[in-house]
Amino acid sequence: MNKRIFTAALTGAIHTPSMSPYLPVTPEQLIEEAVRVSEAGGAIAHVHVRDPRTGLPNADQSIYRQIAEEVKRRCDIILCFTTGGKLGEPVENRVRVASNLKPELTSLNAGSLNFALFHIAGQVQEWKHEWEKPYLEGTEDFIFPNTFKTMRQYLEIIYANGARPEFEIYDTGMINNLAFLLQKGIAERPVYLQFVLGILGGIPASLENLVFLVDTARKQIGEFQFSVCAAGRHQIPMCTGSLIMGGHARVGLEDSLYVSKGVLAKSSAEQVAKIVKIAGELGLEPATPDEARKILGLKGIEHVNF
């Protein structure tokens, strides 16, 4: 297969507006970003939403809907909605988007971890908004909760709404969690994994670790499709490693604000263009959204509730 799925994670809940003027925060900015990503060869946009005035990540269902409807009107990109949300978002709020929009794809974080961002707070010289510094510094004492009960409840809701989960794997033990969920029939095949490397609290970003994760997953899970994303400067190298290993790749400002050393990306689409170019050098082509739907076994844009 020489087709690869390129995802862009448009804004996330890690970076804050003071870190880059290009981080999209309003619905309009997020819509434009999704369309640009689609034009650059992205098949999937991973969507979080934020308060348009302050940029604080939230789970506002009307903003999700506004983005979903307008992006669908303008292009056929697959929308993958977060069920991770912002740090500290109540668990029941995080999954609402799956039942409201009945999307094709949502994230499903495959275990709990220390999700630490306090070490990046020091990089910011001047804060634009009051919430940013305590939000980041508070993560020294933060656990991102994804218990077996939460995973089961989320999966029940995701499948009941015809959506598919993209399993976010931050460390090796999470493969074990997923193997258990599959064995118990709580998780269903086909399986799509997103290996997330380089979060403080998760597995470090290295090629050895990526090979180890894929190998462990093959032994424990068998058949699956996988994609790779990595924090900061590791983004493009780890994505390239994934392409060589037969995987897909996720870029975007959620994971890295830069397009090359010291150069802020003006859009996630710049990062998509970069990894698509590298893929081209490797003889690989971007899958269209419809090709990605087939590869991942998604229900199709005509079956969503937006």
List of residues contacting Zn ion (CB under 5 A)? 12, 82
Q: Which residues, 6 or more positions from 134, have their beta carbon under 8 angstroms from its beta carbon? A: none
C-alpha span between 219 and 216 (Å, rounded): 5
Q: Cα angle at 211 between 196 and 158, to 5 degrees?
A: 40
d(CA 118, CA 122): 8
Quick one: which of 6, 7, 12, 95 contacts ligand KMH (CB under 6 A)?
Answer: 12
Applying the rule CB under 6 A, the residues between 168 and 207 that interact with ligand KMH are 168
Contact region for ligand KMH (CB under 6 A) — 107-115, 145-153, 214-222, 294-302? Answer: 107-115
Enclosing H/E stretch for 192: strand 192-197
111's contact among ligand KMH, Zn ion, none, with CB below 5 to 8 A by partner kind, is: none
The answer to whether 3 and 286 have CB atoms below 8 angstroms apart is yes
Size of the site for ligand KMH (CB under 6 A): 12
Nearer to ligand KMH, 109 or 209 (CB): 109
Cα(100)–Cα(64) distance, rounded to whole angstroms?
A: 9
Contact residue for ligand KMH among 23, 35, 45, 87 (CB under 6 A)? 87
Binding partner at 58 among Zn ion, ligand KMH, none, C-beta below 5 to 8 Å by kind: none
Q: Please choose which of ligand KMH, Zn ion, none residue 115 contacts, taking the beta carbon within 5 to 8 angstroms, the exact cut-off set by kind.
A: ligand KMH
Least Å distance, CB 282 to ligand KMH, is 27
Nearest to 197 by CA among 164, 224, 172, 225: 172
- Per rule CB under 6 A, is residue 110 in the interface with ligand KMH? no
The listed partner (Zn ion, ligand KMH, none) that binds 109, CB under 5 to 8 Å by sort, is: ligand KMH
In one letter, which amino acid is 4?
R
Q: Does residue number 115 form part of the binding site for ligand KMH (CB under 6 A)? A: yes
Q: Which residue is nearest to Zn ion (CB)?
A: 82
Partner in contact with 235, chosen from Zn ion, ligand KMH, none, beta carbon below 5 to 8 Å by kind: none
Q: 226 near 195, Cβ under 8 Å?
A: yes
Candidates 209, 194, 237, 283; CA nearest to 8 is 194
Closest separation between CB of residue 277 and ligand KMH, Å? 26
Asked if residue 151 lies in contact with residue 108, where contact means CB atoms within 8 angstroms, the answer is: yes
Question: Residues 6 or more apart from 92 whose CB is under 8 A from it?
Answer: none
DSSP, collapsed to helix, strand or coil, labels residue 234 as helix
13 binds ligand KMH (CB under 6 A): yes
Over the window 127 to 146, marking each residue x when it contacts ligand KMH by CB under 6 A and - when it does not, the resulting string is -----------------x--
Binding footprint of ligand KMH on the chain (CB under 6 A)? 12-13, 82-85, 87, 107, 109, 115, 144, 168
